[in-house]
């Protein structure tokens, strides 16, 4: 398998095709055991896109199969994490709509201002990099991809930093 890795590292297009044809059926079966059919196929594509992107960091002694299963596992965890977040958010829509209607009432302006001040205080209490990424995402409405480019980070590193920044913010917000 060393020769395939060497060819992949050299950017051989035929090696990439061979790589996909050799490993995709096994990875797809693995994904189909844990995911709905449609998502399994989409995540398979994501796995191989991430693998191709990660080829420059690949070492010759790497076990390709284990490496791909690891990527697939992480993609699966990401999928279910996003599903959980979506279901929690969707279940809260009626409550959020009610709050949105009430918060525009004059008697709630004071509370709104207090909340805004508290959010600003909490943001300033975070580390500079967490404050920066939260402001970029929520105040400047930048996408994760745009933030990654701006901060010279990978997409995954940016997602991770944003996730940790959110957790840090929620923890700090709860303490104040």
- Same domain? For 6 and 85 the reply is yes
25, 65 contact by CB (below 8 A): no
Q: What is the pTM of this model?
A: 0.50
- Same domain? For 171 and 113 the reply is yes
Cα–Cα distance, 56 to 154 (Å, whole number): 14
User: What are the contacts of 161-166 at 24+ separation with CB within 8 A?
Assistant: 161/129, 161/130, 161/133, 162/133, 162/134, 162/137, 164/130, 165/126, 165/129, 165/130, 165/131, 165/133, 165/134, 166/134
Cβ–Cβ contacts within 10 Å for residue 48, how many?
19
How many domains is the chain built from? 2
Cα–Cα distance, 68 to 27 (Å, whole number): 7
Is 84 a domain residue?
Answer: yes
| Domain encompassing residue 35 | 2-89
* Helix ranges (DSSP H) in 92-143: 93-103, 109-125, 128-134
- Same domain? For 149 and 85 the reply is no
- Same domain? For 58 and 9 the reply is yes
pLDDT for position 11: 78
Is 110 a domain residue?
Answer: yes
pLDDT for position 162: 93
What pLDDT digit, counting tens, does each position of 92-104 carry? 666 666 666 666 6
High-pLDDT (> 90) share of the chain, %: 42
pLDDT for position 1: 47
- Same domain? For 66 and 17 the reply is yes
Is 97 a domain residue?
Answer: no
Is 100 a domain residue?
Answer: no
- Same domain? For 136 and 164 the reply is yes
Q: Is 143 helix (H, G, I), strand (E, B) or coil?
A: coil
Is 79 a domain residue?
Answer: yes
Q: What is the CATH number of the domain that holds 50?
A: 1.10.1740.10
What pLDDT digit, counting tens, does each position of 149-173 carry? 999 999 999 999 999 999 999 999 8
User: What are the contacts of 77-81 at 24+ separation with CB within 8 A?
Assistant: 79/35, 79/39, 79/43
Binned at pLDDT 50, 70 and 90, residue 58 comes out as confident
Is 10 a domain residue?
Answer: yes
40, 75 contact by CB (below 8 A): no
């Amino acid at each position: 398998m060393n020769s395939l890795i060497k060819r992949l590292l050299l950017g051989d297009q035929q090696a990439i095709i061979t790589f996909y044809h050799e490993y995709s059926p096994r990875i797809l079966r693995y994904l189909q055991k844990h995911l709905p059919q449609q998502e399994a196929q989409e995540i398979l594509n994501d796995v191989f896109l991430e693998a191709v992107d990660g080829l420059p960091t690949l070492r010759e002694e790497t076990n390709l199969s284990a490496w791909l299963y690891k990527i697939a596992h992480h993609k699966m965890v990401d999928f279910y994490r996003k599903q959980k977040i979506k279901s929690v958010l969707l279940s809260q829509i009626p409550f959020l709509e009610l709050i949105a209607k009430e918060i525009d009432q004059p008697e709630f302006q004071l509370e709104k201002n207090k909340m805004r001040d508290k959010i600003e205080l909490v943001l300033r209490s975070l580390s500079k990099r967490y404050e920066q990424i939260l402001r970029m995402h929520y105040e400047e409405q930048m996408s994760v991809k745009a933030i990654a480019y701006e901060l010279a980070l990978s997409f995954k590193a940016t997602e991770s930093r944003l996730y940790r920044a959110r957790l840090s913010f929620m923890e700090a917000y709860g303490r104040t």
